[in-house]
Amino acid sequence: MVPSHMLPRFNEILASLSLKSEVYISNVQHLIDTERPKVRPRADFGWTDYYTLDEIYAWLDSLVEKYPGVVTPIVGGESYEGRQIRGVKVSYKTGNPGVALEGGIHAREWISSATATYILNKLLTSEDPVIKDLAQSFDYYVFPVTNPDGYVYTHTTDRTWRKTRSQSNSACYGADPNRNWDFHWMEAGASSSPCSDSYAGASPFSEIETRTLANYLRSISDTLLVYLDFHSYSQLLMFPYGHSQDHVSNYDVLYPLGLEAAAALAKNNGTRYEVGSIYDAIYPASGGSIDWVRGVLDTPYSYVWELRDTGRYGFLLPASQIIDTAEETLSSAVVILSHAKSNLRVNKKQ
């Protein structure tokens, strides 16, 4: 991204180095200005607009009130600036295996948090017998915003902020919370430079957000069967690992199941997703949450979506695409959850 007043100089540099270039987005500010509807929807909460952290947390509170005995508040951890990583647990009966949903670990990926809240809402309100059955067959631990400081910062100051907001000796703030998990940390696709957007942090779990969230996940790991993580953008459905191209032990389950899930997703609006391990499908990247959840907690079904789109809007996906994006994503999650449910006995966690 180049500020307009520096464009001539930038082009000179490109020319002097004989570098070819291509414009992806000609005016980022225009996309920021038109991402949200001109008139805010009148409903308190919905999926035709993006919401602030406070609005999302207030909505979670409203669910606890509306569904007593089913929805309970949970705290997945805390942030550098002292916020809570708040979520809810949805449980219709005791003894269910667990499913965790992680949203918003990268601050600017607003569609991630919106998709997580959309799926949470469907678990509570859908009349579809398949979704109702899945809602009642698992305990869901839903954290729509796992990087609350960063998320707030994208609303107040810099729409395209990605990292946490921790401060160290460096002039630059934050670490990439999806390069900071303590599993093959810093082995691939992560930076040791504090100013990089993929800075892995000073050490594994240097960030309080990842450290405390990992502790929470450890506390439910005995029953945790499925981990669903949402990012944007690129339209990819991926599974571990990111640090190495070696296949995860249940690759022969995760890959075909991923293809089936992507096919179900495409049925909604024709949106095409590529499927593969993180290493194969996008790029080598170590220290991500799903690798840790798979590698350390031994959670058999760990998936991560890179949601819409493929670069036309990038991180600035218009709010008018939230419902279609979330609905198609739910279709793919249903495939994964249905498979996990029908194979409970072959998985050691039940």
Nearer to Zn ion, 77 or 314 (CB): 314
Report how far residue 143's alpha carbon sits from residue 232's, in angstroms, rounded to the nearest whole number.
16
SS3 at position 94: coil
Nearer to Zn ion, 106 or 159 (CB): 106
As measured in angstroms, the least distance from the Cβ of 106 to Zn ion is: 3
Applying CB under 5 A, the span of 40-48, 106-114, 146-154, 183-191 interacting with Zn ion comes to: 106-114
Please state the closest distance from residue 60 (CB atom) to Zn ion, in A: 22
Pattern 213-232, Zn ion, x by CB under 5 A:
------------------x-
Give me the residues paired with residue 141 across strands.
89, 100
Q: Is 165 among the residues that bind Zn ion (CB under 5 A)?
A: no
Minimum CB separation from Zn ion for residue 150, in Å? 11
Is-contact 223 100, C-beta < 8 A? no
Task: Please tell me the distance from the alpha carbon of residue 202 to that of residue 34, in angstroms, as a whole number.
Answer: 37
Q: Is 224 helix (H, G, I), strand (E, B) or coil?
A: strand
Give the C-alpha distances (Å, rounded to integers) separating 147 from 180, 234, 235, 341.
13, 21, 22, 30
Q: Which of 53, 97, 98, 106 binds Zn ion (CB under 5 A)?
A: 106
Question: Which residue in this structure is represented by tokens 């059955």?
Answer: 133
Query: Could you confirm whether 35 is annotated as catalytic?
Result: no
Q: Which of 78, 109, 209, 306 is flagged as catalytic?
A: 306
Please, which residue, 138 or 233, has the CB nearer to Zn ion? 233
Residues 78-97 as x/- pattern, contact with Zn ion by CB under 5 A: --------------------
Closer residue to Zn ion (CB): 106 or 179: 106
Task: Tell me the per-residue interface mask from 230 to 259 with Zn ion, x by CB under 5 A, - otherwise.
Answer: -x----------------------------
Q: What is the smallest separation between the CB atom of 305 and Zn ion, expressed in angstroms?
A: 10
Packing angle between helix 129-137 and helix 322-342, nearest 10 degrees? Answer: 60
Q: Nearer to Zn ion by C-beta: 109 or 328?
A: 109
**Rounded to whole angstroms, how far apart are CA atoms 243 and 231?**
18
Side by side, the strands of the sheet bearing 274-277 are 71-78, 84-90, 139-143, 98-102, 224-232, 301-307, 236-239, 274-277
Closest distance to Zn ion from the beta carbon of 151 (Å): 12
The least CB distance from residue 315 to Zn ion, in Å, is: 9
> Dihedral of CA 204/208/211/213: which sign?
negative
Inter-CA distances, 220 with 102, 223, 320, 336, Å? 14, 6, 36, 20
Q: Which stretch binds Zn ion (CB under 5 A): 43-51, 104-112, 141-149, 308-316?
A: 104-112
If you search the block for the tokens 């990038």, which residue do you land on? 314
Q: How many residues bind Zn ion (CB under 5 A)?
A: 3
Question: Nearer Cβ to Zn ion, position 25 or 64?
Answer: 25
Q: Which residues are catalytic?
A: 306
Residues interacting with Zn ion, by CB under 5 A?
A: 106, 109, 231
